[in-house]
Amino acid sequence: MKRILIKNAKIVNEGIIKTGDVLVEDQFIAAIGCDLSEESVDEVIDAKGNYLLPGVIDDQVHFREPGLTHKGDIASESRAAAAGGTTSFIEQPNTVPNAVTQELLEQKYQRASKVAYVNYSFMMGGTNDNLEELLKTNKENVAGIKLFLGSSTGNMLVDDQNVLEKIFSSTDMLIAVHCEDESTIRKNMAAHLEEYGEDIPIEKHPIIRSEEACYLSSSKAVELAKKTGARLHVFHLSTAKELELFRNDIPLEEKKITAEVCVHHLWFSDADYKTKGTLIKWNPAVKTAKDRDGLWEGLLDDRIDVIATDHAPHTLEEKDNVYTKAPSGGPLVQHSLVAMFEAHHQGKIDVERIVEKMCHNPAKLFKVRKRGFIKEGYYADLVLVNPNDPWQVAKENILYKCGWSPFEGTQFKSKVTHTLVNGQVVYKEGQVVVENAGQRLLFDR
């Protein structure tokens, strides 16, 4: 049994910051206290007064395996996640082939068991015709069901209202949705193609994938969840208007309808298209500064429950295309935590709230077993962050397989110094030092 002692840390947990030590034995947190003994300890990590957080749980990533591994794969992107302080991820089903059968879903789990640097779960994908397969999903070892209500890879657009109602009515699993109204988007796209041809200005992206498209779809999903009693989680809110659909007057544990915001929608606005171009082309689109401000307000008043990334790498060659050919998505998982610490330095959010929205709440929302908190008996998924060690994002320190970041050139004040996954130091002072430390996430449902 390996024993690691982390000393002199500012331990951030459940809204409190206290200075102390954490003893790790094998995979678990064995003790939390002050001046814990170094006797029989294999390794001592002096935190030097830096923050010790639970590992980040990112509830929405696209790691591109199988079928799209020229962009990223489970090994490369989970390695980048470890460097960024993310110790668990939930990956989406729109790989190639789409994970829309139990057999294809299990193949992803088997692959991750061999190569994942951090803990993993994979969503089961819904289509217009796979209800029988959806209902076979094991709620104890699969994070949930993912439905694309806007266009996606392959056959994953679920646009049959009868099918949607059947899915919502037939399962008690968490249903996560991408909400953009396809007919609205097609109408907007047709008008812009007529005006500009294929080379539509990137600034038109949030007009094509508009506030109306987002609100129309998310309001229908929320209405359907209320009608059927389904457990609904709405991914990547991008508009201030959508916030009226969500509540903050009950505890998260009692919510049947929850919401997520992504780092890029909290960071960028439509003013950034001028300099970033298609590098910040996401679906849903980055919208106005007013929308960004509204999302921050919703995050801080608890209408929005979690922060995630929607990490979705593409190659620079793919991104360097005219609007209609440049794919949507970008890599973020290595930089999400330090980006939120930057917001902390700007006075937008305190460290305790970062931990709540990136660690505690994803664990509560998905009912992740023994993760997301710094508690005795919980898995030792831990991250040390130095809040005052400036560094700049550059090609040479980007670990994504695609080799670029929308944050390239950005200087962050905070740095992840250590990441522990299941009691193993996976990342240490700029180096990934352990491979394949991840385990399959389990859920208390």
CB atoms within 10 A of CB 316: 11
- How confident is residue 344, by pLDDT bands cut at 50, 70 and 90? very high
pLDDT digits (tens, 9 = 90+) for 2-47: 999 999 999 999 999 999 999 999 999 999 999 999 999 999 999 9
Give the pLDDT confidence score for residue 154 in this predicted structure. 61
Helix (H) or strand (E) holding 86: strand 86-91
Average pLDDT, integer, range 49-62: 98
Give the pLDDT confidence score for residue 151 in this predicted structure. 60
Side-chain half-sphere exposure of 62, counting CA atoms within 13 A: 27
Range 194-210 burial, b when 16+ CB lie within 10 A, else e: eeeeeebebebbbbbbb
pTM: 0.98
Average pLDDT, integer, range 97-123: 98
Q: Name residue 7's amino acid.
A: K
What token pair was written down for 94? Answer: 């729109």
d(CA 382, CA 33): 16
Average pLDDT, integer, range 134-152: 90
Average pLDDT, integer, range 45-73: 98
Whether 117 and 79 have beta carbons less than 8 Å apart is answered as: yes
CB atoms within 10 A of CB 1: 9
d(CA 262, CA 336): 9
pLDDT digits (tens, 9 = 90+) for 307-341: 999 999 999 999 999 999 999 999 999 999 999 99
Whether 126 and 147 have beta carbons less than 8 Å apart is answered as: yes
List Cβ neighbours of 133 (8 Å cut-off, separation of 6 or more).
100, 101, 102, 124
d(CA 77, CA 71): 10
What token pair was written down for 29? Answer: 């947190």
d(CA 347, CA 157): 40
Average pLDDT, integer, range 168-173: 95
Residues 50, 400, 265: CA angle, nearest 5 degrees: 75
Supply the DSSP symbol for 291. Answer: H
Whether 300 and 228 have beta carbons less than 8 Å apart is answered as: no
As beta bridge partners, residue 222 has: none
Average pLDDT, integer, range 135-158: 85
pLDDT at residue 155 tops 80: no
pLDDT at residue 152 tops 60: no
Mean confidence (pLDDT) of the chain: 97
pLDDT digits (tens, 9 = 90+) for 183-242: 999 999 999 999 999 999 999 999 999 999 999 999 999 999 999 999 999 999 999 999
Q: Which of 403, 436, 405 is nearest to 422 (CA)?
A: 436
Helix (H) or strand (E) holding 97: none
Average pLDDT, integer, range 250-275: 98
Whether 429 and 417 have beta carbons less than 8 Å apart is answered as: yes
pLDDT at residue 182 tops 80: yes
Query: pLDDT over 90 for what percent of the chain?
Result: 96
Q: Which of 27, 25, 24 is nearest to 6 (CA)?
A: 24
Q: Which of 107, 97, 102 is nearest to 136 (CA)?
A: 102
Task: List the helix and strand counts (H, then E) for the chain.
Answer: 14, 20
List Cβ neighbours of 393 (8 Å cut-off, separation of 6 or more).
335, 405, 407, 408, 409, 410, 411, 412
Strands (DSSP E) found in 105-154: 119-122, 124-125, 145-148
d(CA 424, CA 43): 11
